Chains A and B, each alone.
Chain A
Amino acid sequence: MQKYMFLFRGGDAARAAASPEEMQQHLRKWGTWFRGLGDKFKGGEPLDMTGKVLRGTGKALSDGPFAETKDLVGGYAIVEASSLEDAVEIARGCPIFEHDGILEVRPIREMKM
C-alpha cells in the first residue's frame, strides 16, 4: 500500500449561497466520505485560513496564505491506496466538488531500500 496526500483546495465561493440546511447536508456528506475511508485514513486536519508565510533567502515574513480563495488549501488528509488510480477513485467521491472545489492527490515519497 502506498500513502497519498490529499490536499483540499477551495470549495468556498459556492458555499456562501448555501442555506443552513444545505450546509448541514453537505457536512453530513463529508462525514460519510471520511467514515467510508475507514482504515485507509491515516490522519488529516482542516486548516485555518489565516497564518504567516516566510519567503526566499531573506525569509521575508508576510501575513496569510496569498493564494486566491478558490486555490487556498483548506485541509489535508493522508490516505492509503493501492495505486494512484485507486487514490483518484477515492478522491472522486469527495463532496468538495459539490462546491466546485479542487482535490489534489499526491503520492508521498517513500524511502525505498
Chain B
Amino acid sequence: MTGTPEELVDHLFRHQSGRMVAVLTRIVGPANISLAEDIVQDVLCDALETWKFGRLPENPAAWLMQAARHRAIDLVRRAGRFSALSGELRRHLESQQQLITAIDNLFGESAIDDGVLALAFACCHPDLQPDSQVTIILKYLCGFSVREIAHAFLVSEQTIEKRLTRGRAALKSQIALDLDLGHGLETARLGSVLRAIYLLFNEGYHGANESFPIREELCSEALRLGLLLATRPPFDGPETKALVALLFLHGARLPGRVDEEQYLVTLAEQDRSRWDRDLIQRGLFWLGESAAGDSVSEYHIEAAIAAHHVVAPSVEGTDWGEIRTLYAALAQLRPSPVIALNHAIAAGMADGPSAGLAALNSIGGKERLQAYPFFHAALAEFQGRLGDLSAARRSLDRAIAAARNPRERVLLQDRRLALGENS
C-alpha cells in the first residue's frame, strides 16, 4: 500500500475512465458503448468504496484497468454467445479461452493506446458535425459528464444530450473499433481527428466559459490526444506533429494569458516571464520534427506564427515581417476575415501604422468584421500611433459596442480610458 487519496494523480479517474471505455468498447462493439460506460462507472464506484478509507493500491491506474479486465472477462463467461461482442472479437467465439486471450491482449499497454485512438477515429465519423465529434470525444475519451461538457461549452445539457444521441447513432453504424491499418479508414479520417483536436484546444483557449480550470483541462485533453497520435505510426506524419507543436506553443502562453482575444490588444501586456519555458521547448522540438516532407499544412503555419511570438523578447522585438508572410500563406490555405485581420495587424506592426491602416481598410469582405470588436480595436491602435486620437476614440467606442462578453468590454474600456476624454 502506498499513498493516500489526496496523493492520487490529478484527473486519474477521468483519464482512466476514457481509457477503460475505449478498450471495453473495442470488446463489446461501438453499438454497446453505453454498456462499456456502465462497466466503467461500476469500476470507479468500487475503487471509491475500496480506497476511501485512506489507503491506495500500489498502482491505482493499473488496479482500475485490471478491474475493468475482470469485468470484461466475466461478461464474456456469463454469455458465451454474447451478442454484444464487437466484430473484432467475434471470430474468437468458438473458444472461450481464445476469447479471453484476445481480451487480455486488448488490455496490453500499447493496445490500450490503440484502443483510445480507435475510439477517437470512430468519434470523428463523417456523418457528424465537428461540434458533435468534439462532444463525444469529451464524453467517452476524456471522461467528462454531460453537465461538465455543457458547462465547458456554456450550452444547455439538452444540447449536449442531442449531440450525444447523434454521436451514438454514428458509432452504432460502425461494426468494430479496429485500428486495422489495412483498411486505410484511419488515415483517411486523420484530417478530421486532427481538426477535432484543434477545435477542442481552441474551445479551451478562446472558449465561452471564463472559468480557467475548465478551459485549461480542455487544452490538456487536446494535447494528450495529439501526443498519442504524434507518437503512433502511421498517424505521426508532419501534419500531426505540426498540430502538436502548435498546441504546445499556445499552451505555453496559457499561464501568462489573462483574457486576450487578440494579440495586439494584450500581447504587449502579458508577462512573458510567466510563459511556460518547458512547453515552449517541447513546442519548438515538435515544430522541428514536423519539418519533413513537402506539404505545409495550416498547423505548420500557425505553429510557426506561435513560435515567433514565444521566442520574441517583447512585442517590439517580434519578427512581424515574418509573421505577416506566414499570415499571408495561411490566408491562402484558409481564407477568412479574421486571418486577414491578423495579416493586416502584422503588416502594421512590421511597416508602421499607416501601412497597418491601409491593410485593415483593404481587407476583402471587411463588412463581416464590423461586428468583431478587435477589428475596431486594431484600427484604434494604428490611429492612435499616428496621433489621430479622436479617430482612435471613435474606433474604440465601436469596439466596445461590439464587445461580445463582459470580459471583452472591460478590456476595451480600459484602453478607451487610456485615450482620455473627447476634446
Chain A positions within 8 Å of B, measured between CB atoms, are 12, 15-16, 19-24, 26-28, 30-32, 34-35, 44-46, 74-75, 77
Contacts and interface: CB of A to CB of B under 8 A. Distances in A.
23 contacts: A16-B45, A20-B16, A21-B13, A21-B143, A21-B148, A23-B48, A24-B13, A24-B14, A26-B52, A27-B13, A27-B47, A27-B48, A27-B52, A30-B52, A31-B4, A32-B5, A44-B53, A45-B53, A46-B49, A75-B49, A75-B52, A75-B53, A77-B53
A32 B8 CA distance: 12
A15 B13 CA distance: 14
Q: What 7 pairs between A and B have smallest CB-CB spacing?
A: A31-B5, A19-B145, A30-B52, A20-B13, A34-B54, A24-B13, A20-B17
Contact of A24 (B8, B41, B50, B53): B8
Contacts of A77: 53
Contact of B148 (A19, A44, A45): A19
Contacts of B54: 30-31, 34-35
Contacts of A46: 49-50, 52-53
Given A21-B145, A24-B12, A24-B13, 18 more contacts: A19-B145, A19-B148, A20-B13, A20-B16, A20-B145, A21-B143, A21-B144, A26-B52, A27-B5, A30-B5, A30-B52, A34-B53, A34-B54, A35-B4, A45-B53, A46-B50, A46-B52, A75-B52
Interface in B110-161: 143-145, 147-148
Contact of A28 (B5, B16, B144): B5
Contacts of B44: 20, 23
Contacts of B11: 21, 24
A28 to B, nearest CB: 5
Contact of B14 (A16, A21, A28, A34): A21
B51 interface: yes
A15 B48 contact: yes
B37 to A, nearest CB: 10
B414 interface: no
Interface of B: 4-6, 8, 11-14, 16-17, 41, 44-45, 47-54, 143-145, 147-148
Given A19-B144, A46-B49, A74-B49, A31 B14 contact: no
Contacts of A15: 45, 48
Nearest to B41: A16
A69 to B, nearest CB: 12
Contacts of B14: 19-21, 24
Contacts of B41: 16
Nearest to B51: A27
Contact of B8 (A28, A35, A74): A28
- Of B14, B16, B50, B53, chain A has the most CB atoms within 10 Å of the CB of B53
A26 B48 contact: yes
A23 B45 contact: yes
A7 B48 CA distance: 17
A80 B160 CA distance: 48
A21 B51 CA distance: 15
A98 B165 CA distance: 30
Nearest to A18: B145
Contacts of A27: 5, 8, 13, 47-48, 51-52
A15 B48 CA distance: 10
A45 B48 CA distance: 13
Residue in B44, B49, B52, B145 whose Cβ sees the most chain A Cβ within 10 Å: B52
A35 to B, nearest CB: 6
Q: Which of A12, A24, A30, A34 has the most CB of B within 10 A?
A: A24
A83 B247 CA distance: 57
A22 B151 CA distance: 14
Contact of A31 (B16, B49, B52, B148): B52
Contacts of A74: 49
Given A21-B148, A26-B48, A46-B50, A31 B6 contact: yes
Nearest to B11: A21
- A20, A32, A44 interface centre (most CB from chain B within 10 Å): A20
B313 to A, nearest CB: 39
Nearest to A43: B53
Contacts of A19: 14, 143-145, 147-148
Contacts of B49: 46, 74-75
A94 to B, nearest CB: 10
Contacts of B12: 24
Contacts of B8: 24, 27-28
Nearest to B7: A31
A49 B35 CA distance: 22
